[in-house]
Amino acid sequence: MTVFIYPNLEKLHSEECTAEVIEILKSLGVTVLMTPDTNLVFGGNANEAETINQAISMCDIVITIGGDGTILKIASLAAKYKKKLLGINCGRLGFMASLERSELDCLKNLCSGEYKTERRMMLDVTIKFRNGEEISETVLNDVVITHDFKESLNDFTVLADGIVVSHLRADGLIFSTPTGASAYALSAGGPLIEPSMDCIEFTHICPHSLSARAMIFDPNKLIEVRTKAAGQIALRADGAEAISITSDDSIFIRKSDLSLSVIDIHGDNYFKSISTKLMNNAKEVYEEADDR
């Protein structure tokens, strides 16, 4: 078995955690793969692939070490090459991660096959610019469309298969997968959705309306977003760098042909995360503030 390790070394304790993971995997007879820059940090203790793309194409399993953002950065590539992904949390929340640092002994399950996998739906977002150019991205979590906060509220029109389903003013819109329903969409008032489902969630950000509610679309709908903006609109795909668009540009969102296979070591990661992380997170934040 070959495992590609993709750590976010900017996270607190991620370097120590990565060193532990390397040691455990090698003791299990697993071939550990890293890119040269990362391998250098760990004394050349792993095999190397020149690029992340090459590493993912060569491995059987991708392990991310960091937080949910680390998973999002690698998700589309793992899906493209049809590789299973295991997240190890070194961040504060790590809702999508299957393992905490204290549970690294469970890595032996990768060799024995004692784990479950979940298929996670993804979204394709395409921006068609007025000059004829196009940009397309594939996301695991969400597509967030917001106005420039130097400007006033903007008008957004949302169509599903060509039929208008929403037209109102708001700070922005969120289109999420069931996986992304526990992220920004949840904070904006959207529902939790079991991540093994297929659907597209649509949530407004601070709508100027008393009737605006989150909507759940059939996964096969083609969603179109039109804007009427005084300034520029920012679109972020899975929290990546913002793409600037204007009222003359169109946004299309649909279910992707790609899906991500996520490893769940315990078999109950989603519901466990709801009770241990989402429910207790606010309490932990207040306790951290009191300790300062």
Which alpha helices (H) appear in 81-197, and where do they start and end? Answer: 108-112, 184-187
DSSP class of 82: T
Residue pointed to by tokens 């204007």: 246
The pLDDT value recorded for residue 149 is 59
Q: Report whether 3 contacts 55 (CB < 8 A).
A: no
DSSP secondary structure letters along 1-54? -EEEEEE-TTSTTHHHHHHHHHHHHHHTTPEEEE-HHHHHHTTT-SEE-SSHHH
Per residue in 209-242, pLDDT (tens digit) is: 888 999 999 999 999 999 987 777 899 999 999 9
Residues in the chain: 292
Which residues participate in catalysis according to the annotation? Answer: 68
Q: What are phi and psi of 18, to 5 degrees?
A: -60, -40
Per residue in 79-125, pLDDT (tens digit) is: 999 999 999 998 676 778 889 989 999 999 999 999 999 999 999 99
- In 45-113, beta strands by DSSP E: 47-48, 61-66, 84-89, 99-100
Tokens at 17, concatenated: 């955690």
Rg (CA), the chain: 20
| Reported pTM | 0.90
* Nearest-angstrom CA–CA distance, 72 and 143: 12
Q: Report whether 222 contacts 254 (CB < 8 A).
A: yes
pLDDT classification of 278: cutoffs 50, 70, 90 = low
> In the predicted model, what is the mean pLDDT of residues 5-26?
95
The helix or strand, by DSSP H or E, that contains position 72, with its residue range, turns out to be helix 68-80
Q: If we measure between CA atoms, which residue out of 240, 133, 17, 45 comes closest to residue 8?
A: 17
Q: If we measure between CA atoms, which residue out of 141, 200, 201, 202 comes closest to residue 168?
A: 202
Strand partners, 170: 154, 207
Q: Are β-strands 223-228 and 154-160 bridged in parallel, bridged antiparallel, or unpaired?
A: antiparallel
